[in-house]
A = this chain, B = another copy of it.
């Protein structure tokens, strides 16, 4: 099954083909379940003019936030970008564009992109700034807006375990946007905490079937905690 072995051994190979002005779909929620090494590689490569679709944009010195330092990001498509002073500054300066998208709509846009559904109706955002300029249609007497799907040139995904064929499982709430991101990239790259042999993952437990995945790399993760709150 040589043709299905998707493991690459360098970050350069993992992100080969990424060019300026491309669109990247990124998994993760806050700093949880983010492909730390792939983000670092994008910083190393210095690729610029990027459009990044991700629920958040990290913090100033960690996660996607590190791509702001050298102004690699042209546009973010996100639901919440409030954790990041540099972000706000670049936005106010007009150096960065942001398309604020409701979180559920964002998740569904990624899923739809991967699933060959170019657009769907949702009530979310109707009558708000999000709905402005969008097609409206009533179903059962309720108005809905038409939202178009999202795909990317690359998807970057963080898995807990991946096998050589690209089958992935996620750990706890580090799953979040990763499964949808994995489906929505022309090239999907998975950074995993552990790479196992095919057959080690139970077929019924696989969150992302390998068909969506092009490259797998073994990563090491800092897993920074954004808000460490303990039981009182």
Which residues does chain B contribute within 8 Å of A205, judged by CB atoms?
204-205
Asked whether A12 is an interface residue with its Cβ less than 8 Å from the other chain, the reply is no
Asked whether A154 is an interface residue with its Cβ less than 8 Å from the other chain, the reply is no
Asked whether A134 is an interface residue with its Cβ less than 8 Å from the other chain, the reply is no
* Beta-carbon nearest neighbor of A175 in chain B: B204
Bitwise interface map of A from 93 to 112 toward B, beta carbon under 8 Å scored 1, else 0: 00000000000000010001
Shortest CB-to-CB span from A207 to chain B, Å, is: 8
A122:B116 contact, CB within 8 angstroms:
yes
B121:A139 contact, CB within 8 angstroms:
no
- Taking a contact as CB atoms closer than 8 A, the residue among B118, B122, B144, B207 that contacts A121 in the complex is B118
30 contacts between A and B (CB under 8 A): A108-B115, A108-B117, A112-B120, A116-B122, A116-B123, A117-B120, A117-B121, A117-B122, A118-B121, A118-B139, A118-B140, A118-B142, A118-B144, A119-B120, A119-B121, A119-B137, A119-B139, A119-B144, A120-B120, A120-B121, A139-B148, A169-B204, A170-B204, A171-B204, A172-B203, A172-B204, A175-B204, A204-B205, A204-B207, A205-B205
